[in-house]
Amino acid sequence: MAGNSFGTRFRMTSFGESHGPVIGVVIDGVPAGWSLDLDLVQAQLDRRRPGQSAFTTARNEEDRVQCWSGCLDGICTGAPLTLTIRNKDARSEDYQELSQTLRPSHADFTTMARYGVRDPRGGGRSSARETAARVMAGAVAAQILAKAGIHCYAWVHSVGQASMDAEAYALLDSIPYTQEQIESSPLRCPLPDIALAMENEINTARVRGDSVGGTVVGWCQGLPAGLGDPVYDKLDADLAKAMISINAAKFFELGSGWAASSGHASDYNDPILAADTSEWTHIKTATNHAGGVLGGMSTGTPLWFRVGFKPPSTVSIDQNSVDHSGQPLVLKARGRHDPCVVPRAVPVVEAMLALVVLDHWLGFPSAKIQRLLP
Amino acid sequence: MAGNSFGTRFRMTSFGESHGPVIGVVIDGVPAGWSLDLDLVQAQLDRRRPGQSAFTTARNEEDRVQCWSGCLDGICTGAPLTLTIRNKDARSEDYQELSQTLRPSHADFTTMARYGVRDPRGGGRSSARETAARVMAGAVAAQILAKAGIHCYAWVHSVGQASMDAEAYALLDSIPYTQEQIESSPLRCPLPDIALAMENEINTARVRGDSVGGTVVGWCQGLPAGLGDPVYDKLDADLAKAMISINAAKFFELGSGWAASSGHASDYNDPILAADTSEWTHIKTATNHAGGVLGGMSTGTPLWFRVGFKPPSTVSIDQNSVDHSGQPLVLKARGRHDPCVVPRAVPVVEAMLALVVLDHWLGFPSAKIQRLLP
Amino acid sequence: MAGNSFGTRFRMTSFGESHGPVIGVVIDGVPAGWSLDLDLVQAQLDRRRPGQSAFTTARNEEDRVQCWSGCLDGICTGAPLTLTIRNKDARSEDYQELSQTLRPSHADFTTMARYGVRDPRGGGRSSARETAARVMAGAVAAQILAKAGIHCYAWVHSVGQASMDAEAYALLDSIPYTQEQIESSPLRCPLPDIALAMENEINTARVRGDSVGGTVVGWCQGLPAGLGDPVYDKLDADLAKAMISINAAKFFELGSGWAASSGHASDYNDPILAADTSEWTHIKTATNHAGGVLGGMSTGTPLWFRVGFKPPSTVSIDQNSVDHSGQPLVLKARGRHDPCVVPRAVPVVEAMLALVVLDHWLGFPSAKIQRLLP
Amino acid sequence: MAGNSFGTRFRMTSFGESHGPVIGVVIDGVPAGWSLDLDLVQAQLDRRRPGQSAFTTARNEEDRVQCWSGCLDGICTGAPLTLTIRNKDARSEDYQELSQTLRPSHADFTTMARYGVRDPRGGGRSSARETAARVMAGAVAAQILAKAGIHCYAWVHSVGQASMDAEAYALLDSIPYTQEQIESSPLRCPLPDIALAMENEINTARVRGDSVGGTVVGWCQGLPAGLGDPVYDKLDADLAKAMISINAAKFFELGSGWAASSGHASDYNDPILAADTSEWTHIKTATNHAGGVLGGMSTGTPLWFRVGFKPPSTVSIDQNSVDHSGQPLVLKARGRHDPCVVPRAVPVVEAMLALVVLDHWLGFPSAKIQRLLP
């Protein structure tokens, strides 16, 4: 009811504010006997961190994951697994000024309407810093899925007008890029030319004090056919919820959904190829406009989708707004702010994808979980 | 876990197959003392029915709602409310032929992968006929919301290339069309010229034996600021799940999300106007690109979003597929089939919208529910 | 939130009032492929029915189970399974008189406090007739468990002062009575002498216009060690909730709990016998005071517990009460009423036991469910 | 599914092992705006701690509550509230010896059956130390209820054969003892003579190396009539689950349930007194055998119930058992161990009671929560 938990079988509860002492997550449902790899969790946190660049080894000590329960000598016991990172000390004076200001397109006044009180220090729970909890839980989910041969990826598909070609994905039966290609630019766009164009979009916005939106592709392969619980807990419905729950996410599209909504079945149906039906997972289709889900259940072909993020709302352009008493003011953000969030959203999309897929997978071919354990 | 329930406070459980005896819904959480208006439920069922046209009064007796529990002398008792409609007798011979065929872009083989068995008669649970359960529950939710001054609408925004202008919605602070305008064409598009273009799109597809996709706008006004449970059960996240759970829905976009993902904050931030903050519901914004939700909570301005539907997968064009044993075949649908579903999706979108909003509203300014009752 | 569903993996939602048209249940989570035996469901309904006596074959047509969804040609499809029985026509005039009376120790005034309205016809949802929904769902659960070698039983342990010996159960490693022995008296007490004493207790109460309480033992054997989800969804905690949710149930005792609470560990600890620990299910204990659960998880030895039922509140002795406007009155029930409910509670206890055990079992050694299906 | 959360509207998730770094709880659903009193939380922790005695002020620094999220400057923000206490450093050598031993009547072998791995250090999650998480959450719940005029109490009713009179409670319409009387003996029994007899029971057991069971009464007054969600989430059913989920709890009895199960309605029905029915909360009954709940909903009279605890399983008497490989051994506990747990169970019973009542109350006369806040 209160909104800070996600999942049923692999259930994570997130806690902590942007400028409180910690951001943390309690995960209930980690398979007992699992050898937890905290380095993989740390690696995903590092990808999410502000100020990072790809493949750097000089890691400072920020956002270090700590484990508080659920794991003994590296083995998960089946008890709730609690992971946290420390927040840097809040410089509360920075927010004093904003504590009475309602920033446009932020959650300030809706928070007041919902709760009657707000933590003005860095946005409190509305801060994107909360996504660190998602990344920690998702990194645990992803390592379990990986051992089952299921892999979750994401990359930046577009920034502003600089965009890759979405239609191309429908023609593929495996992921088109390696993790190295994705990480080869700070944009997390695997195509160097387009990555360059994206950088230009961002720099242009930054110079103007503006910000720019973008889209991220999520991709999952290796998952068996049949995951999903129609008619309301469909795999794609759960993915849509997971993705739209991410800060600044404003649309979700499964497969060729956007194009198909203005097109014809003759172009967007996926013909079924001759197949071995002794196991239903072996059905293949000539194309994958469906995005790997039919009737709310996985097809066994790659799952792919796009998530759209609005431009970050904090800009250093003058904006009309009001204060807590309703008096008009002109707001102009000062100091550093991020003109584009999508590269840092990549590990968050991966995390939410892994959480949804594992939650369904744990309820499905359940025998397999035992084969994963020593 | 099993996927056939939706909502928490106002929780509906759907049952029945396309060619079983009934389609039904049990609703747990209807406020005790509520005067149920079954005519409003029937009116929404009529809008969903195949073969209907707008404002017709000659109603045949199909899809008549019946109440089995939870209501005594027209007053809801707080007990589970059960509503059903009868299915027409299945002509099972029609489906004999298809019972071993895997139809492209349908749920046939994913159903086999998930359940190992399928009801071939009209798609079983995967049939769009299940949406009648949603419409019944949604029509109960909508009448409760209406008494609280909250109104849910939907209309057809585009069919194929024929489209209204999405950006225009961001400039409005109330619904642009009356229910009469929406129902004035069988397309449920309130603009006559565009409705005509949509008809052309559909007829062109029909003649070719093809089908065409489209989009529906959902709109809710009157809801107070602050509905939604961050960080995972955000109002927009729950809407996304609700909409993507509808048959053939492939994308969800909140407000100007699609455009904003390739644009700038200077164009898509919504400036805040001078306002009476003694109640947070009175905050106004100059534009509504946000679609009525910030930080996962309603802003008090209209909620608006788009849902995209793929072209119906059943077409009378030859399609390559296989049978249950994996042998190739060429499938060609015969008889009547619907070349476009979006007009009939309108009441379904309205229903899911009402279910999500009421579920959040019942947990929010809870005092108000008591004011609604005699 | 609204209280009419039970279970998570095997989730049943009950609907219908005592004098509405039907009592029904929707079960979500029935394993697809399961061959449903409706005769077994009917047999349990027959045991629950008023007016029945043991082993009678002349069955009248009351309380006939009907299936509305989820089953095609006898095979469950994985869709929600809906079962109902018809209610006899309400003789509403019988309840007219009571509609303004608050009966002592009934739910009349708490229903008004909770809902502000009540269905006076036979108690509405508070009627024990609702337990027919539990029995239908439980009979489906029990047949699935039976195929896995898990069997649920119940019998009458005491009526008034006539009682069997609870301590004896702690010494047993399998059920002490056959189903035939249990059904050999209308009391459902397997010991003829004590059954006779129970009949005397009931007859004595009846003659006085009074009623008498009793206890039922629940017993489950064949379940593997390790079922239960500490620390809050323990197997015994879920059983306690299930049992206390039954009409008129007022206490729940696991194993020798009552006696142990005034005794010593030297008498109530269960020594562990030499055992094959290659599978943890093979651990044996010398006694079973624990009742088959340790730390909230099944031990693999029989599960046993007692449920206590208060005397039925409807009696034909004068009772002081008030009407809806608070005016004093003297209530004296007329006509037939049941001076003891425990024999009819036996199939209800079995049903709730089966629902709890199956719900846990479906999440546990999950591989096995697939071995049960063809 | 995974069992470490409790409640729906006021939902707590417990984490931490007996000898891990912390025991903690995340509470989702604390009303925003609430002024958190951590001293009251600490006071309840102090009552639960081992080695404490009543009304001592010389507090050592153990089990100090710390707040990690959800509270800013003493005001709850509506974000998840996280509270922890530190564990003392584990002396792991103490448990080395026991790590391969299956202790009788402990959760050792059921944990192996359920999880395949166990944390031998002090019982891990099965340790009663986990109840500190319950006490922290319960102490938050209790302070919210207190402001609404609802108060939760518990005391020791019996130890071994030394017992107070349960029937007396049915005659009372308010709590018979003050908190001071309850705390006046280390036994938490308010009657000095019986407290002395209880001490004798404990000392006798201790001298023999044995342990003794006991019962605790829970009492709640001030709650309005009508709390509870029939037919499965009845108030008493939820209480039963809450109580039986406590370590070593083996029976739950509502009101005069045990006695009523062998008695007659003429003795155990509660006559209704003339009353003001303009508000249903004002109904009074001559007696309260019901224990404050009818039909699963509160009556507005005091809620009272008993919970029975078995004797602690760790004793210094020789016990037959086996090790992990199934080899027989004789176990004899060494060092300090608690011959009776019921005095320390008192704050745990109060905590679980407060959690259940608040969870229902938050969904009920919802307006009131807003009146509690500034």
A146's enclosing H/E stretch is helix A131-147
For residues A368 and C237, what is the distance between their CA atoms, to the nearest angstrom? 29
pLDDT tens-place string over residues D266-300:
999 999 997 777 777 778 999 999 999 999 999 99
Q: Subunits touching D (CB < 8 Å, at least 3 pairs)?
A: A, B, C
pLDDT tens-place string over residues B46-65:
999 876 553 333 334 489 99
**What sign does the dihedral B92-B94-B97-B103 (CA atoms) show?**
negative
Model pLDDT, residue C54: 37
pLDDT tens-place string over residues B197-214:
999 999 999 999 999 999
Model pLDDT, residue D369: 60
Q: What are phi and psi for residue B178, nearest 5 degrees?
A: -85, 160
Find the distance separating the first CA and the last CA of chain D, reported in whole Å: 37
Q: What is the mean pLDDT of residues D202-211?
A: 96
Decide if pLDDT at A91 tops 60: no
Task: Answer whether A109's CB lies under 8 Å from B285's CB.
Answer: no
DSSP label at A166?
G
Name which residue leads in pLDDT, C353 or D97: C353
Contacting residues of D for A2, CB less than 8 Å apart? 9, 11, 28-29, 80
CB contact under 8 A, D231 and C125: yes
Q: Are strands C214-221 and D328-331 parallel, antiparallel or unpaired?
A: unpaired
Option in A77, A114, A117 nearest D119 (CB) = A77
Q: Which two tokens stand for residue C185?
A: 């008296």
Option in A4, A265, A271 nearest B321 (CB) = A271
Compute chain D's Rg from CA coordinates: 21
Model pLDDT, residue C49: 87
Report chain A's mean pLDDT, rounded to a whole number: 91
For residues C27 and C78, what is the distance between their CA atoms, to the nearest angstrom? 10
Domains of chain D, CATH where assigned: 5-372 (3.60.150.10)
Report chain D's mean pLDDT, rounded to a whole number: 91
- Tell me how close the Cα of D89 comes to any Cα of chain C, in angstroms: 23
CB contact under 8 A, D272 and C321: yes
Option in D1, D8, D367 nearest B366 (CB) = D367
Task: Answer whether B308's CB lies under 8 Å from B240's CB.
Answer: no
Q: What are phi and psi for residue A168, nearest 5 degrees?
A: -60, -35
The two counts, helices (H) then strands (E), for chain D are 11, 17
Model pLDDT, residue C91: 55
Name which residue leads in pLDDT, B95 or D20: D20
Contacting residues of C for D105, CB less than 8 Å apart? 265, 268-270, 289-290, 294
Nearest to C188 by CA among C160, C153, C221, C222: C153
Contacts of residue D132, Cβ cutoff 8 Å, sequence gap at least 6: D23, D45, D48, D63, D85
3-class SS shares of chain D: helix, strand, coil, % to 5: 35, 20, 45
B189's enclosing H/E stretch is none
Task: Answer whether D135's CB lies under 8 Å from D25's CB.
Answer: no
Instruction: Extract the runs of DSSP E, i.e. beta strands, from chain B.
Output: 5-6, 11-15, 22-28, 66-69, 71-72, 75-76, 81-86, 101-102, 151-159, 162-163, 214-221, 249-254, 293-294, 297-298, 303-309, 319-323, 328-331
Nearest to A235 by CA among A294, A170, A160, A185: A294
Residues of C with CB under 8 A from a CB of B: 1-5, 8-9, 11, 13-17, 20-22, 24, 26, 28-29, 32-33, 68-70, 72, 75, 77-80, 82, 114-119, 121, 124-125, 373
Contacting residues of B for D33, CB less than 8 Å apart? none
Please state at what angle helix B38-48 crosses helix B342-361, rounded to 10 degrees: 140
3-class SS shares of chain A: helix, strand, coil, % to 5: 35, 20, 45
Neighbours of A330 (CB within 10 A): 9
Share of chain B above pLDDT 90, in %: 79
Confidence of residue A156 (pLDDT cuts 50, 70, 90): very high
- β-partners of residue C233 are C229
Option in A6, A224, A319 nearest B271 (CB) = A319
- Tell me how close the Cα of A102 comes to any Cα of chain C, in angstroms: 35
Decide if pLDDT at A365 tops 90: no
pTM for the model stands at: 0.96
Find the distance separating the first CA and the last CA of chain A, reported in whole Å: 37
**What is the residue-level pLDDT of chain C in tens, covering all 374 positions?**
589 999 999 999 999 999 899 999 999 999 999 999 999 999 999 999 876 643 333 434 489 999 999 999 999 999 999 999 999 755 555 666 678 889 999 999 999 999 989 887 777 899 999 999 999 999 999 999 999 899 999 999 999 999 999 999 999 999 999 999 999 999 999 999 999 999 999 999 999 999 999 999 999 999 999 999 999 999 999 999 999 999 999 999 999 999 999 999 999 999 999 777 777 777 899 999 999 999 999 999 999 999 999 999 999 999 999 998 889 999 987 766 789 999 999 999 999 999 999 999 988 754 456 666 66
Contacting residues of D for A22, CB less than 8 Å apart? 68-69
Distances (CA, A) of C128 to A199, B360, C18, C199, C248: 70, 33, 8, 22, 9
Mutate to test the interface with B, among C9, C30, C34, C68 (most CBs of B within 10 A): C68
Contacts of residue B58, Cβ cutoff 8 Å, sequence gap at least 6: none
pLDDT tens-place string over residues A164-199:
999 999 999 999 999 999 999 999 999 999 999 999
Confidence of residue D2 (pLDDT cuts 50, 70, 90): confident
Tell me the one-letter amino acid at A360: H
Report chain B's mean pLDDT, rounded to a whole number: 91
Confidence of residue A364 (pLDDT cuts 50, 70, 90): confident
Distances (CA, A) of C184 to B366, C178, C307: 54, 10, 21
Task: Answer whether B249's CB lies under 8 Å from A231's CB.
Answer: no
Residues of D with CB under 8 A from a CB of B: 1, 8, 366-367, 369-370
Q: What is the mean pLDDT of residues A106-131?
A: 89
Residues of B with CB under 8 A from a CB of C: 1-5, 8-9, 11, 13-17, 20-22, 24, 26, 28-29, 32-33, 68-70, 72, 75, 77-80, 82, 114-119, 121, 124-125, 373
Option in D109, D208, D255 nearest C283 (CB) = D109
CB contact under 8 A, D22 and A68: yes
Contacting residues of A for B138, CB less than 8 Å apart? none
Residue with tokens 């996240």: B237
Q: Which two tokens stand for residue C307?
A: 């449920």
- β-partners of residue A29 are none
Model pLDDT, residue C279: 76
Q: Is the ipTM reported for this complex over the cut 0.85?
A: yes
A16, closest residue in chain D (CA to CA): D69
Confidence of residue A19 (pLDDT cuts 50, 70, 90): confident
CB contact under 8 A, A105 and B234: no
Q: What is the mean pLDDT of residues B165-192?
A: 95
For residues B76 and B28, what is the distance between their CA atoms, to the nearest angstrom? 11
Confidence of residue A58 (pLDDT cuts 50, 70, 90): very low
Task: Answer whether A17's CB lies under 8 Å from A121's CB.
Answer: yes
Contacting residues of C for B24, CB less than 8 Å apart? 68-69, 82
Name which residue leads in pLDDT, A96 or A286: A286
Contacting residues of C for A367, CB less than 8 Å apart? 366-367, 370
Q: Are strands B249-254 and B319-323 parallel, antiparallel or unpaired?
A: unpaired
- Tell me how close the Cα of B374 comes to any Cα of chain A, in angstroms: 27
Task: Answer whether C42's CB lies under 8 Å from C65's CB.
Answer: yes
Please state at what angle helix A38-48 crosses helix A342-361, rounded to 10 degrees: 140
Q: Are strands A249-254 and A162-163 parallel, antiparallel or unpaired?
A: unpaired
Mutate to test the interface with C, among A69, A366, A372 (most CBs of C within 10 A): A366
Model pLDDT, residue B55: 34
Decide if pLDDT at B29 tops 60: yes
**What sign does the dihedral B120-B124-B126-B128 (CA atoms) show?**
positive
Mutate to test the interface with B, among C69, C84, C366 (most CBs of B within 10 A): C69
Pairs of CB atoms within 8 A across A/D: 148
Segment among A82-91, A174-183, B120-129, D125-134 with least mean pLDDT: A82-91
For residues D253 and D233, what is the distance between their CA atoms, to the nearest angstrom? 17
Instruction: Extract the runs of DSSP E, i.e. beta strands, from chain D.
Output: 5-6, 11-15, 22-28, 66-69, 71-72, 75-76, 81-86, 101-102, 151-159, 162-163, 214-221, 249-254, 293-294, 297-298, 303-309, 319-323, 328-331
Model pLDDT, residue D181: 97
Confidence of residue A7 (pLDDT cuts 50, 70, 90): very high
Option in A8, A77, A117 nearest D33 (CB) = A117
Mutate to test the interface with D, among C98, C100, C231 (most CBs of D within 10 A): C231
Model pLDDT, residue A274: 76
Residues of D with CB under 8 A from a CB of A: 1-5, 8-9, 11, 13-17, 20-22, 24, 26, 28-29, 32-33, 68-70, 72, 75, 77-80, 82, 114-119, 121, 124-125, 373
For residues D373 and B125, what is the distance between their CA atoms, to the nearest angstrom? 47
Residue with tokens 């690696």: A43
Task: Answer whether C26's CB lies under 8 Å from B13's CB.
Answer: yes
For residues D259 and C166, what is the distance between their CA atoms, to the nearest angstrom? 16
For residues B304 and B302, what is the distance between their CA atoms, to the nearest angstrom? 6
Option in D24, D32, D69 nearest A82 (CB) = D24
Option in A1, A8, A367 nearest C367 (CB) = A367
Q: Subunits touching B (CB < 8 Å, at least 3 pairs)?
A: A, C, D
Neighbours of A161 (CB within 10 A): 12
- Tell me how close the Cα of D39 comes to any Cα of chain B, in angstroms: 29
**Burial grade of D134 (CB within 10 A; 0-12, 13-18, 19 or more):** buried
- Tell me how close the Cα of B296 comes to any Cα of chain A, in angstroms: 7
